[in-house]
Structure 1
Amino acid sequence: MILHFISYIISAMRRILAVFFLTAFVLSAFGMASFAQSQNTEVSPSADSPTGEAAGQPAEAPVPPQAQEDVKLITAIEVKGNKAISANTVVSKMKSRIGSPYQETVASEDLKRLYLLGFFSDIKIDTEPHNDGIKIVVSVTERPLIEKISFSGIIHITMKDEKLKAQLKSKEAQYLDYPNLDEDARTLKKMYEKIGFAHAQIDYKVDVDKERNKAKVEFRVQENKRVRVKDIFIDGNSNFTDSRLLRLMKTKRAWLFNAGALKEDVLREDIDRLKAFYRKNGYSDSAIDYEVKPGAKRPFLLSIYIKVREGKKYLVGNVTVQGNRDIEQKDILARLKECTPGKVFSNESLKADVANIQGLYFDRGYISAQVQEATSLNSYTGRVDVLYTIEENKVAFVDKIYIRGNIKTKDTIIRRELRIYPGDKFDGDKLRRSKERLQNLGFFEEVNYDTEDTQVEERKNLVVEVKESKTGTFSFGGGYSTVDDFVGFVEIEQNNFDWRNFPYFTGGGQNLKFRAQFGTITGGFDMSFTEPWLFDYPVSFGFDAYNRKHKRDTDVGYGYDENITGGDVRLGKELSEFLRADLVYRFDYFNIKNITDNATEDLKQEVGKKAISSITPSFTFDTRDNVFDAKKGDLLTGSVEWAGGPWGADKDYWKFFGRASHYIPLLRNSSLEFRGRLGLSKPYSDTERVPIYERFFAGGAYTIRGYGERKVGPIDAVSKDPLGGESMLVGNIEYTYPVFSFLKVAVFYDAGNVWQKMRKVGSGGFKSGAGIGVRIKSPIGPIMLDFGIPFNKAPGEEKKKGGRFHFSASQGF
């Protein structure tokens, strides 16, 4: 009984103690919250107070009691002088906060931070006592806003004011900045220098409305007279003539066809160009200075004085190679082209040969090879001896191949063109050939290589980086051609077509093209499809369907109306890297009518409807570096068409056509092409003559320029219409020089003839001509414009005619 009573007393005391401690904890928490609230109310003035003091944030950490006696707390922050910029904006950019200790270093940082805003021309930070602490007073002077920018005195700069303002750093509705105004004045000065007004004076005037705090800026120009270069004098040049050096300069004397404007930056480039010229020619110690002097009586006429100190001409002495182990010294020396014994020494030629040695090692798989060059003057010979030190490192092998940059084109389309594979040694020839093949696809603007390290030192990942170009086109237009007269067309083409990729239909490497043509003498349509890899095998398949019409027009060599409807099926395969075989089956339906009334019986026999069925095997050997713009390499093609016989239809004949082109790269990206074409044909069985629409013709834009279209060869004795022949031989030599990326100039010589019978080929001489032309890369396609001068009288003409223009679309650019 007593034990039960004691247990009850202990349980009751536990409950009482628990209630007591819980009550004490609640009261303690409530008291601390009240104390904190009262403290915050005392140090934080309202942001909306009439004094303009801005509210701050409480200090992140309390100040230790022992430091409060030496450090004052910030009790307020006041901003003065601000009009457009609010006080809260200013305070938000400062590190000082209400409730935190005041520190001079922090205030100094705040001053710098506020200046960086660019809103103020003057800022001061002061302090004063406030509520047992410190109040920070920020006094600012706002920069005025630019209300208007105007110009006066400008005559020879024809740019409108709005475009002129766009060239300046200072802008309307932005804050006035005097350093920017100074730079703007210099910008205008440079614009005047570019048009020859080197003595133009530019300053500015700023009117500030202090009440509105806005400014008007006026740039004032005094153009003065246009400065011209009267003379350029060169002194000290004993090894090169004045005219040779002046040709290197873009700055020219003033004369009838040159304004003679002086541009300081261009003149400095001219001097650098002269220095580089001397260094390239072995004068490594040469020095060139210049001075521009105004005329004594006419200061706007300038004279440029160039002082040359040529120094000694250095030649290459002994060339030594060390460090090579796997590549013989004779192979390395054979790669040196510029810096060889006896040649002129220059740093440029030295660097070129370093690159040549590295290229040799890269081609053999040593992609990490290093070549260091060292030179020394041989006091005995007076020449510069060259030492190449080679660190070969290890041969590198391809680990993995990554394709990057292709968004539309599938990886497999790129990989199947590569001639280097995982596990292969890095080979320069294979890499170059792979790049050529990718460029020949026409899908990419750029093709580049990179490597990535792997965990194995001698194995590297090969990265093929491509930049895709636009491969799909929809174009329409019209024009005039000496071949087709006035013509219009509509064309849709996708060079990177994929019929399985719905709905984009791109990325598969196929070619699809549809073209409709209409004009005064021509018309029709063409549809073509090519799959270069049939069922993922390296066999191409394609077909064409077409209808082509040509009206009678003796000016372009057609003495009859021609209508062709037909199509073909194509198969092809690469037999080796450069050799390809193709097989084409063709079926055409011809309709010849509207023969000239006074034509002979020879031409009238061609009237009527005929069908042709033929099969054509061909071989192509192509080593050109670029099929679209060849600079080097060869193109050899040969085909034999077999019509009729077992293939049926109305005409039986065979026809051979061959072409050979050789391209030679020359200076400044120009090239020289030698091209020859041979055509031979012969009827057989019951066909007495090769049909006129399958004969060979020459003369005009694509064969022998300077003569009328199809006007070289046999003609009708009465109507003078071309009849064509069973054999043809044409040769062309053409030199092209690029002026711009879209424009080339050409010089050509053409010769050849057409013979009525195959056995007569080469007899009776040739017709020839020469001339000049341009090649234009236009948005609607390549354009060829030539002016040819004939050297012989054309068949059927009483005397030799003058030159003629040939204007048409070319077959490549």
Structure 2
Amino acid sequence: MGKIEFTGNKAISASQLKKNLNLKSKNLIQKIAFWTKSQDFNEFYLEDNVQQIISLYQRAGFLKVDVKAYKDINRKKEKINLLYEIKENEPVLINDIKLKIDAKDQERIDSVKQLLETGRTDWILQENSIFRDLNILALNKYFHELLLNNGYPSPEIKQEILLTEAENKADVIYNISAGTFCSFGAVNIIGNERTPSHVISRQISFNGEQFSQTQLQETQRRIQQLGIFQFVTMKSMLDEIENNTIPIEIMVKELPEWSVKFGIGYGLEDRLRTSLDLLKLNFLGGARRANLYLKHSFLEPYNVSLKITQPAFLGPYGSLAFKPYLKKEHESAYDLETFGTSLTFQNIINPRLNGFISYRFERSFIDLSDETETDILNEFYNKSALSQGLSFNNSSPVFYPETGFSASYVVTLSGLKLNSKYHYLQGLVDLRKYQRILAELVLAGKIKIGSMKPIWGDTITPLEERYYAGGSLSLRGWGRNDVSPKNENNKSIGGNSYLELSLEARQKIFKILYLVLFLDAGNVWMDFDRHNLNDLKYSPGIGLRLRTPIGPIRLDAAQPVWDSKKSIQLHLSIGQAF
């Protein structure tokens, strides 16, 4: 196969037509990969392609389309170029849209008609618009959902097309059987062996009003949000409708009361790591959850926490978590031992947007390495801080985003009484964008910017809360935390302003294997308001991603530019860099 071209196609683009063909030419990426073989020409596929194009046009309203295929054989290159000549002719137009409603009496017929024709000017199908199959089906779906959400649990809708070929017009008739108008009736909950029924009932979003499928779905989401059920199903008991009320059955399948997750892995930064996560559901009754988490790695010699979560707090999508913890962090400049507790309220505003507010109190001891010279002393000290954040994410799919974006911010105020040693205001913004460019090529971009300012008379910020860059999730041309202001002994001591930019091109090259080209840029400065675009460090690189059900296994290699002292950095880990 050589080139594939089209003439006469005005209503449908060439790229859209090519997607529906069995015979395909090489795309840009396949041409760059010159070693890949072109598809062999097949006469049967050619005839099938002509029919595919005709079918596509007819579904778009061009019932009298004419398509011819011409072959141009280049025997020297052993290629066949195809030219599809398309004569679209005039499309079929919608003449009229009629609703035929079947209900028990004229009053109900008038009520249903008024409901469906409200907003008629906004229908996707309009008189004198081009006849398109998808639009006809979309309006059918719109009517169906409108009835389901306004008291009719079992509507039936079928469309009928009357074509007048002489005028090239069509009437669309929707035959609508609305069914019985109902209100919500009694609710029966089954399958809950440990969870009290009243815990589930509090999540129900309806109470005797007219039937609505949307309210059923909302209730299902609320109950699932409790985090203690494997699945939740909502069933409208259509066979038990009585006095225009419909009973609802809620079936739940509880997750195991106890569960244990054990993890072991290796990374070039944290080396050997192990973790244990013990979960207890229905903790102290109700829907509470308790998580005991243990972790060990080179960077975290120990991390122990107990998190107790109360779901449905101050609303169906709110939760309150109490978390005492004890941990030790190991960095080249210091070791930090911390014990403390946090109290966090989180609320899911909608499926893509959630926010939180959190208070934490910690008592820490920092042990500086012999080469770390700063104004900070080896000592115990208190930290009392309040944080607030908001995040939005509509990227998909999970683990391998191809479209959408995410945005988040976190603001922290530290120094709230309780002999808190450090007083500062800190903010961090994280923006990410994903866009599919070609069939198997995705561009991903990230911007992170942060600032941290001492307040209330303080002149320094805590070493462990400052910004650092470099490593497998940051500027990959440098080692972990290597991009940072340095002391006289060339030890990273962190900074108070931070900027990071990344761009990745992710291309599938073989089934579960992806090739990635990337460029990272950024820096960390001591002053809180530095953010100098003329003082950025750059590192281009190349990587491989092996697709797995739990995320990609990632190998990256990056080299700083304009820095002859730095060698290539390798990073091996699980998960996307962003």
What is the TM-score when the length of structure 1 is the normalising length?
A: 0.51
570-579 or 237-246: bigger deviation = 237-246
**Structure 2, gaps ≥5 residues long:** 26-34, 66-83, 101-111
Counting only pairs closer than 5 Å after superposition, residues 516-535 of structure 1 correspond to structure 2 as 516-519=295-298, 522-533=300-311
Alpha-carbon distance in 1 for matches of 2:417, 2:406: 35
Q: 1:566 aligns with which of 312, 335, 339?
A: 339
2:294 counterpart of 1:515 = yes
Number of residues of Structure 1 aligned to a counterpart in Structure 2:
520
Q: Which residue does the alignment assign to 1:450?
A: 235
Q: Which residue does the alignment assign to 2:428?
A: 657
Output one character per residue of 1:266-290: Cα deviation in whole Å (capped at 9) or x when no partner. Answer: x99x99999777534426899xxxx
Q: 1:480 aligns with which of 243, 255, 266?
A: 266
Q: 1:727 aligns with which of 482, 490, 497?
A: 497
Shift of 1:367: 3.6
2:55 counterpart of 1:279 = yes
Larger helix percent: 1
Counting only pairs closer than 5 Å after superposition, residues 615-630 of structure 1 correspond to structure 2 as 615-620=385-390
Alpha-carbon distance in 2 for matches of 1:622, 1:460: 37
- The one-letter amino acid paired with 1:512 is N
2:99 counterpart of 1:322 = yes
Shift of 1:804: 4.6
Q: Which residue does the alignment assign to 1:76?
A: none
Alpha-carbon distance in 1 for matches of 2:311, 2:335: 36
Q: Which residue does the alignment assign to 1:69?
A: none
Alpha-carbon distance in 2 for matches of 1:747, 1:248: 27
Alpha-carbon distance in 2 for matches of 1:363, 1:414: 23
Q: Is the 8 A contact 2:385 2:413 kept in 1?
A: yes
**Structure 1, gaps ≥5 residues long:** 1-230, 250-255, 262-266, 287-307, 502-506, 551-557
2:573 counterpart of 1:807 = yes
Output one character per residue of 1:266-319: Cα deviation in whole Å (capped at 9) or x when no partner. Answer: x99x99999777534426899xxxxxxxxxxxxxxxxxxxxx9x9988945216
Q: Which residue does the alignment assign to 1:549?
A: 329
Shift of 1:417: 4.5
Output one character per residue of 1:462-481: Cα deviation in whole Å (capped at 9) or x when no partner. Answer: 34445556685434343322
Q: 1:471 to 1:391 in 2, by over 3 A?
A: same
SS in 1 for 2:21: helix
2:495 counterpart of 1:709 = no
Q: Which residue does the alignment assign to 2:163?
A: 377
SS in 2 for 1:700: coil
Output one character per residue of 1:321-349: Cα deviation in whole Å (capped at 9) or x when no partner. Answer: 43562336473564538x99766744x66
Identity score, percent: 16
Q: Which residue does the alignment assign to 2:524?
A: 754
Q: Which residue does the alignment assign to 2:413?
A: 641
Q: 1:733 to 1:471 in 2, by over 3 A?
A: farther
Shift of 1:354: 2.3
Counting only pairs closer than 5 Å after superposition, residues 180-329 of structure 1 correspond to structure 2 as 245-247=21-23, 279-282=55-58, 315=91, 317-318=93-94, 320-323=97-100, 325-327=113-115, 329=117
- The one-letter amino acid paired with 1:807 is S
Q: Which residue does the alignment assign to 2:108?
A: none
Alpha-carbon distance in 1 for matches of 2:190, 2:509: 33
Shift of 1:687: 4.3
372-381 or 658-667: bigger deviation = 658-667
Q: Is the 8 A contact 2:124 2:135 kept in 1?
A: no
Q: 1:625 to 1:810 in 2, by over 3 A?
A: closer
Q: Which residue does the alignment assign to 2:276?
A: 491
Q: 1:705 to 1:354 in 2, by over 3 A?
A: farther
SS in 1 for 2:301: strand
Q: 1:686 to 1:245 in 2, by over 3 A?
A: closer
Alpha-carbon distance in 2 for matches of 1:509, 1:734: 41
Output one character per residue of 1:109-142: Cα deviation in whole Å (capped at 9) or x when no partner. Answer: xxxxxxxxxxxxxxxxxxxxxxxxxxxxxxxxxx
Shift of 1:365: 4.6
Alpha-carbon distance in 2 for matches of 1:444, 1:663: 32
Question: Which one has the largest radius of gyration?
Answer: 1
Shift of 1:798: 3.4
Counting only pairs closer than 5 Å after superposition, residues 108-123 of structure 1 correspond to structure 2 as none
Q: Is the 8 A contact 1:400 1:461 kept in 2?
A: yes
Q: Is the 8 A contact 2:187 2:248 kept in 1?
A: yes
- The one-letter amino acid paired with 1:368 is S
Q: 1:351 aligns with which of 125, 137, 149?
A: 137
Shift of 1:696: 1.1
Q: Is the 8 A contact 2:506 2:516 kept in 1?
A: yes
Q: Which residue does the alignment assign to 2:105?
A: none
Shift of 1:421: 1.8
Alpha-carbon distance in 2 for matches of 1:686, 1:654: 12
What is the TM-score when the length of structure 2 is the normalising length?
A: 0.69
Alpha-carbon distance in 2 for matches of 1:622, 1:434: 23
- The one-letter amino acid paired with 2:320 is S
Q: Is the 8 A contact 2:523 2:536 kept in 1?
A: yes
Alpha-carbon distance in 2 for matches of 1:529, 1:574: 17
